[in-house]
Structure 1
């Protein structure tokens, strides 16, 4: 059972992940190249932690393959998340990501072979309505928002898989091999990225200066090694949906910090904020509706 300290940890790492979008925006090299470095630093740092704490690197072949494949999903998540901030801005990236809890509400029952609740579908439609309001006007960051939504989907997906893995593997081991998976996936994606999307078909693999190295090191050490490991460990006691729901505070933290740091670049039209409010209300309504539905079923069971 989760303790109060567990929830404090959860909200602290949510704050750190909200700040990660800003760090990613501050790095001057393109997002894909940055992710290669972040993943490299992350798995080397995690390897050092495992070595110094005398934890285990040993996993079975099947678990190794699964963890590496989850790492591929994390790589897609990072590319979509940081790419969204680059083609639009931090606020748009974070709002698209805010759909993660509703993705979890749909995906978790599907993977666990339980029924999807009607009110979850209804809330999903409300979220779609909120996105429609954003898109229906002259919204110039449509690609960024779609990439942010993809980041939310992949976040829910790898969280569900990690919740299963942590039942029999140490969080340090999970993080280590998944970061290797991220690194390999990002590395293999570089030629495709260079051919189709890189400016002038040129890669910019070398950090532009000391600050780039510092920002990437913070992303790897604080937002990956520490935050990711803590999140995986918390999955032993907190459900995937609660974690994903808490992650919806990430846009709140991130947008406030981004507005302070980047100023007018983060200012949007009224339709963006109206659509954002609708999305956040739908997400916030989920636990209330879930509790009421559970209470109604309990009363119906007693009456029968």
Structure 2
């Protein structure tokens, strides 16, 4: 295994671990997200200074960073709410639908047209989601977690589409510094003193979440991605829920049901074929 692939594996492992840490942590979800984003912004800012990455942004870029930062705050809040209200497996698998949303929303952002096969993939995805959702569809308590997970995936898809143009001309670390910083700042007015970490354990978990699972993971993923093909890097998207679910089973005792595992396999399969179709369309 070469160094780049090892970096991608470690980054994906840390991304998957973030769900487990968020489930273990007893802090309010808003505090978790604000702390994670703020610490990640500080860690990436330090890395940018070490590497000499310029952080100046034009007025137009600042407005885009503001919009994406707000979306990032919503994305992480909905992701951790999904995990708290259901399980790590449900949160990760419903979030993993985001590549399908990228295809569905692509035409609104000037990307490729929708094709008949895309609608088929959506139908397959819905079947997988039904297997993942525990209990009855008539019970709001059963639906809350999965719906927050889907909202997390939808918002992340919009972030990806908005970032697509930015990464063509800007360093991803610079983009992440601004977006994480904004995500933290927009949540500050919603926090109060009662949400602050009251134990060393909660504080340590928050620091680990922000610096290791976000800043370090992001840096490792970018470093690895630059030395492998785009196809190889994209394959690690499918490993995040695998790592996360395995860690949740090991550390939290959250064992997915056979139905959930089958639904997860269907979702990841649909996402894989959606990505392959997107790559084929971009090459044609």
User: Residue 252 of structure 1 aligns with which residue?
Assistant: 242
User: Residue 95 of structure 1 aligns with which residue?
Assistant: 93
SS of 2:187 mapped into structure 1:
helix
**Deviation by residue 1:47-98 (Cα, 9 ceiling, x = unmatched):** 2223333322211111011112111111111001111111111111111112
Counterpart-to-counterpart distance in 2, 1:288 and 1:212: 41
Counterpart-to-counterpart distance in 2, 1:112 and 1:8: 35
Deviation (angstroms), 1:152: 1.3
Match 1:116 to one of 108, 114, 124? 114
Counterpart-to-counterpart distance in 2, 1:268 and 1:64: 42
Contact 1:72 1:181 survives alignment (8 Å): yes
Alpha-carbon spacing, 1:289–1:181, altered in 2? closer, same or farther (3 Å): closer
Q: Equivalences for 1:172-187 in 2 at 5 Å?
A: 172-187=173-188
- Between stretches 21-30 and 282-291, larger displacement belongs to 282-291
Contact 1:175 1:229 survives alignment (8 Å): no
Deviation (angstroms), 1:156: 1.9
Counterpart-to-counterpart distance in 2, 1:230 and 1:152: 22
Alpha-carbon spacing, 1:229–1:83, altered in 2? closer, same or farther (3 Å): same
TM norm structure 2: 0.84
- Between stretches 175-184 and 162-171, larger displacement belongs to 162-171
TM norm structure 1: 0.79
Match 1:17 to one of 5, 15, 23? 15
Question: Structure 1 unaligned runs (5+)?
Answer: 192-201, 299-304
User: Residue 212 of structure 1 aligns with which residue?
Assistant: 202
- Between stretches 89-98 and 101-110, larger displacement belongs to 101-110
Q: Equivalences for 1:107-186 in 2 at 5 Å?
A: 107-135=105-133, 137-138=135-136, 141-186=142-187
Counterpart-to-counterpart distance in 2, 1:30 and 1:268: 25
Counterpart-to-counterpart distance in 1, 2:164 and 2:6: 19
Counterpart-to-counterpart distance in 2, 1:102 and 1:6: 27
Contact 1:68 1:180 survives alignment (8 Å): no
SS of 1:204 mapped into structure 2:
helix
Alpha-carbon spacing, 1:79–1:242, altered in 2? closer, same or farther (3 Å): farther
Question: Structure 2 unaligned runs (5+)?
Answer: none
Contact 2:135 2:142 survives alignment (8 Å): no
Alpha-carbon spacing, 1:45–1:81, altered in 2? closer, same or farther (3 Å): same
Counterpart-to-counterpart distance in 1, 2:102 and 2:232: 9
Deviation (angstroms), 1:149: 1.1
Within the alignment, does 1:40 sit opposite 2:28 as a pair? no
User: Residue 77 of structure 2 aligns with which residue?
Assistant: 79
Structural RMSD (CA): 3.1
Counterpart-to-counterpart distance in 1, 2:188 and 2:113: 39
Greater RCO structure (CA 8 Å; 6+ sep)? 2
Alpha-carbon spacing, 1:59–1:260, altered in 2? closer, same or farther (3 Å): same
Contact 1:135 1:142 survives alignment (8 Å): yes
Counterpart-to-counterpart distance in 1, 2:164 and 2:226: 5
Deviation (angstroms), 1:186: 1.8
